[in-house]
Chain A
Amino acid sequence: MPSRVGRSPMPKQEPRERIRNFSEVALGYSEEDAIREASRCINCPKRPCVSGCPVEVDIPSFIGLIRDGRFAEAARKIKEKNSLPAICGRVCPQETQCEAQCTLGKKGEPVAIGALERFAADFERAHSGISLPGGLDTGGPHAGRSNMVGSCPGDGSGGLKVAVVGSGPAGLTCAADLAKMGYKVTIFESLHSAGGVLRYGIPEFRLPKAILEEEIAYVRALGVELRLNVLIGQTYSLDDLFRAGYKAIFLGTGAGLPHFLGIPGENLNGVYSANEFLTRANLMKAYLFPDYVTPIKVGRRVAVVGAGNVAMDAARVALRLGAEEVTIVYRRSRAEMPARREEVENAEEEGVRFALLTNPIRVLGDEKGWVTGLECIRMELGEPDESGRRRPVPIKGSEFIMGVDTMISAIGTDPNPLLPRLTPGLATGRHGNLVADPETGATSIPGVFAGGDIVTGSATVIAAMGAGKVAARGIDRYLRAGNAEK
């Protein structure tokens, strides 16, 4: 009985209004919107949507609870599998994950699973406070039902100590799961605030930091200790951690090393890596300069090179900081753009331009070292390469100059090399990524596990969370196998 009701649209701030502020663009469903949308779900017995979610959220059940108006319970249902629902509901690429598998999507529009997940989490935050698993919350039929894995060796006060390095989604998830199993977990984070890319990369208008704060507070309320300003490898080595009594270590250090194109002129003033641009804006809140002290400078005309989520974020931040014209420069065509569809649409609505099949070859500058333009060459799509995508090839003689005063390079990042470089014996792969067993997260050093972008290269929030979960289970198994005495 396919539903006839169309998908409820997500209410959003008007484009002309929102490019003048950093408030959230998507406003979220009202209760009526949510119930209407939840009612579209036909509760498929085979639950195809669940197989599309990397952490296997019980989608039909939580949607059923929303339909019945049991919003807080819906949130708890999601949290059985996903400790960061308000975040995932906002930033998961649902259209390629859970929603891509939804039965309704075959003939029409899939159920807005992400928007509903976000609604449930936001409702819980606004109304009943954040609930804790293990009977610490106030009640409800699903209270206390967490994904505890059997009993653990150190239940109670004698819980074994585990160290988690990095407070991105991988680290937070691994820490939360281990804490729920009874381990004493400490997260070590090198920056002055937690969240990884969620903090320094994804802008306020897409993921309000207040939400991140609350999700981190939830993880801490589980008993996880958070130590900021500690760079593992320098402040402490992995050996130091073992000596300090940590019985296992999870590395979730992310893919923080920015790529540059390697073209002439890239060190001119006005060229940023997306990481620098976004870190200044988000982590350091440079959009509130000079009240917040960190400066950022955005010119009148900005070129953002790349077409992933990072590029869209950088382009939209540049607009909000006052740039008059922002252009995405991408060497392939629209079909190959890796960014989420929704974010491309948002960027377009806000007036971001797209120079597709265009490749930068040189940054031009003036005698004082400031950017004056970007020399580009037009591309056409040739034969498919190994990845199956048609390879862009330059069109001879099509060079032209784009007049810009700022260039932001958003062409990707590599795994953070610092820790492998400072840790003998830690095996790395071809791109500097850590090698870890996909079933357990185990690395080449006994007792050291890893997951998230440091292993896979730049991926998604939910994939990093999935890896954190796998590693938590791997660590539990490792410690219960008697390795804690070593």
Chain B
Amino acid sequence: MYRIVRKEVLAPRIKSFLIEAPEIAAKAKPGHFVVVRLDEKGERIPLTIADYDAASGTIELVVQEVGRTTYQMGMLEAGQYIQDVVGPLGTPMHIEKVDCVVFVAGGLGVAPIYPKARRHYEIGSRVVSLIGAQNKDLLIMRDRMEKVSHEVRYSTDDGSFGHHGFVTELLKEMLDSGAKISEVVAVGPLVMMRAACRVTEPFGVKTIVSLNPIMVDGTGMCGSCRVTVGGETKFSCVDGPAFDGHKVDFGELIARQNRFLAEERLAMEHFTRGIAPEREECRCHQG
């Protein structure tokens, strides 16, 4: 059992959890993730280690409520427990000093990006962060990102803060203006990562993406997380989750994300019925 030490609401439906997991905290590196199972009946879901502190033995997970399990996790409070947390998983990102690294974060992508940006900042790379979200409220971890970036630019889809438009437009602007970029790291929704790769490709700028396919074990045993990279099948949980974005078959991955759409909807309905038992059709307590 893993204790939740602190919970913070970062934005509507985005919550940060500080979790006591000393063994994982001691080994975590930027790019690592964990697999979490909330309780006996729970699904195993992968979550990035957004921050870690070996001294206090904690890891931070930032979770966006998108369905059954993340919604249930959002209801947990400090002092409560998560049944299973395993990690650190995945291949940590290879980070060495470069002249200029540009981070492109879409929505929740900021969370996985933060430890990588911090590391680059610490070793002396110039860090530029381009952070986008649907609206101002969903721009999370701003203060932390500003501390580890030499320059931060924002965009919102609705224009409520920063550039009015997509975050990839900020990236395009930079490249068009002739900025010398050593590498781009893009993390966010698949369509956003694909768009970022399309922007950088003509400029020949190396672009790393962090993929989020559907996982089960997270240890290379099931193949649920397979993606095609450079024409080869890779298992994201052990070979990734970071890959050279120009080689990723995004179309295939986007299709694979939808494998269980109908079931996910059903699971969510079943869950909301369970937490709102006054609904008439609920017969769960009638034998």
Q: Residues on A close to B: CB < 8 A?
A: 190-192, 200, 228-231, 234-236, 256-258, 260, 266-270, 272-273, 275-276, 279-280, 284-285, 288-297, 368-369, 416-418
Contact of A191 among B41, B68, B217 (CB under 8 A): B217
Of B44, B222, B271, chain A has the most CB atoms within 10 Å of the CB of B222
Pair B85/A279 contact, Cβ less than 8 Å: no
Residues on the A chain within 8 Å of B233, using CB: 260, 266-267
Smallest beta-carbon distance B165→chain A, Å: 29
Q: List residues 208-267 of chain B with CB under 8 A from any CB of chain A.
A: 216-217, 219-224, 226-228, 233, 238, 252, 255-256, 258-260, 262-264, 266-267
C-alpha gap A399/B85 in the complex (Å)? 48
Enumerate the 8 nearest inter-chain pairs by beta-carbon distance, A residue then B residue, closest first.
A369-B255, A295-B263, A276-B222, A290-B270, A256-B221, A273-B223, A229-B86, A293-B43
Contact of B217 among A269, A279, A292 (CB under 8 A): A279
Pair B267/A257 contact, Cβ less than 8 Å: no
C-alpha gap A196/B221 in the complex (Å)? 11
Query: Assuming A231-B89, A235-B27, is B41 touching A257 (CB within 8 A)?
Result: no
Smallest beta-carbon distance B237→chain A, Å: 10
Query: Assuming A192-B86, A267-B256, A418-B238, is B44 touching A294 (CB within 8 A)?
Result: yes
C-alpha gap A296/B259 in the complex (Å)? 9
Query: Assuming A235-B24, A418-B220, is B263 touching A289 (CB within 8 A)?
Result: yes
Residues on the A chain within 8 Å of B221, using CB: 200, 256-258, 275, 279, 416
Pair B260/A295 contact, Cβ less than 8 Å: yes
Residues on the A chain within 8 Å of B41, using CB: 285, 288, 291-293
C-alpha gap A453/B252 in the complex (Å)? 33
C-alpha gap A384/B37 in the complex (Å)? 49
Smallest beta-carbon distance B250→chain A, Å: 12
C-alpha gap A309/B85 in the complex (Å)? 31
Smallest beta-carbon distance A264→chain B, Å: 11
Additional A-B contacts beyond A192-B84, A273-B222 (11; CB < 8 A): A229-B84, A229-B85, A231-B87, A257-B220, A276-B222, A284-B43, A284-B216, A290-B267, A290-B270, A293-B43, A369-B255
Sorting the interface of chain B by its residue count into under 10, 10 to 19, 20 to 34 or 35 or more gives 35 or more
Residues on the B chain within 8 Å of A267, using CB: 226-228, 233, 252, 256
Pair B220/A276 contact, Cβ less than 8 Å: no
Of B23, B223, B264, chain A has the most CB atoms within 10 Å of the CB of B223
Contact of B220 among A256, A279, A280 (CB under 8 A): A256
Interface status of B69 (Cβ within 8 A of chain A):
yes
Residues on the A chain within 8 Å of B222, using CB: 258, 273, 275-276, 279
Residues on the A chain within 8 Å of B44, using CB: 192, 284, 294
Interface status of B88 (Cβ within 8 A of chain A):
yes
Smallest beta-carbon distance A267→chain B, Å: 6
Interface status of B277 (Cβ within 8 A of chain A):
no
Residues on the B chain within 8 Å of A272, using CB: 223
C-alpha gap A258/B260 in the complex (Å)? 21
Interface status of B42 (Cβ within 8 A of chain A):
yes
Pair A368/B23 contact, Cβ less than 8 Å: no
Interface status of B83 (Cβ within 8 A of chain A):
yes
Residues on the A chain within 8 Å of B24, using CB: 235
Residues on the A chain within 8 Å of B223, using CB: 258, 260, 272-273, 275-276
Residues on the A chain within 8 Å of B264, using CB: 295
Pair B83/A236 contact, Cβ less than 8 Å: no
Smallest beta-carbon distance B71→chain A, Å: 11
Residues on the A chain within 8 Å of B69, using CB: 293
23 contacts between A and B (CB under 8 A): A190-B217, A191-B219, A192-B84, A228-B84, A230-B23, A231-B86, A231-B89, A234-B27, A235-B27, A256-B221, A267-B228, A273-B223, A289-B266, A290-B271, A292-B41, A293-B43, A294-B216, A295-B260, A295-B264, A297-B259, A369-B256, A417-B220, A418-B220
Residues on the A chain within 8 Å of B271, using CB: 290
Pair B219/A190 contact, Cβ less than 8 Å: yes
C-alpha gap A228/B267 in the complex (Å)? 27
C-alpha gap A296/B267 in the complex (Å)? 11
Residues on the A chain within 8 Å of B219, using CB: 190-191, 231, 256, 416, 418
C-alpha gap A368/B223 in the complex (Å)? 20
Smallest beta-carbon distance B75→chain A, Å: 14
Residues on the B chain within 8 Å of A289, using CB: 263, 266-267
Residues on the B chain within 8 Å of A369, using CB: 252, 255-256, 258
C-alpha gap A267/B251 in the complex (Å)? 11
C-alpha gap A292/B233 in the complex (Å)? 30
Pair B270/A368 contact, Cβ less than 8 Å: no
Pair A269/B267 contact, Cβ less than 8 Å: no
Pair A235/B23 contact, Cβ less than 8 Å: yes
Smallest beta-carbon distance B40→chain A, Å: 9
Return the chain B residue nearest A285 by Cβ.
Answer: B41
Interface mask (B62-92 → A, CB under 8 Å = 1, otherwise 0): 0000001100000000000001111111000
Return the chain A residue nearest B40 by Cβ.
Answer: A292
Smallest beta-carbon distance A167→chain B, Å: 14
Pair A234/B87 contact, Cβ less than 8 Å: yes
Pair A295/B85 contact, Cβ less than 8 Å: no
Return the chain B residue nearest A293 by Cβ.
Answer: B43
Smallest beta-carbon distance B260→chain A, Å: 4
Q: List residues 17-41 of chain B with CB under 8 A from any CB of chain A.
A: 23-24, 27, 37, 41
C-alpha gap A256/B226 in the complex (Å)? 15
Pair B217/A236 contact, Cβ less than 8 Å: no
Pair B267/A234 contact, Cβ less than 8 Å: no
Query: Assuming A260-B233, A276-B223, A295-B260, is B43 touching A368 (CB within 8 A)?
Result: no
Contact of A276 among B89, B216, B266 (CB under 8 A): B216
C-alpha gap A268/B43 in the complex (Å)? 23
Residues on the A chain within 8 Å of B259, using CB: 269-270, 297
Residues on the B chain within 8 Å of A231, using CB: 86-87, 89, 219
Pair A235/B42 contact, Cβ less than 8 Å: no
Residues on the A chain within 8 Å of B266, using CB: 289-290
Smallest beta-carbon distance A325→chain B, Å: 21
Pair B238/A269 contact, Cβ less than 8 Å: no
Residues on the A chain within 8 Å of B217, using CB: 190-191, 279
Pair A230/B226 contact, Cβ less than 8 Å: no
Query: Assuming A231-B89, A235-B23, A284-B43, is B216 touching A297 (CB within 8 A)?
Result: no
Residues on the B chain within 8 Å of A284, using CB: 43-44, 216
Residues on the B chain within 8 Å of A288, using CB: 41
Residues on the A chain within 8 Å of B23, using CB: 230, 235-236
C-alpha gap A291/B223 in the complex (Å)? 24
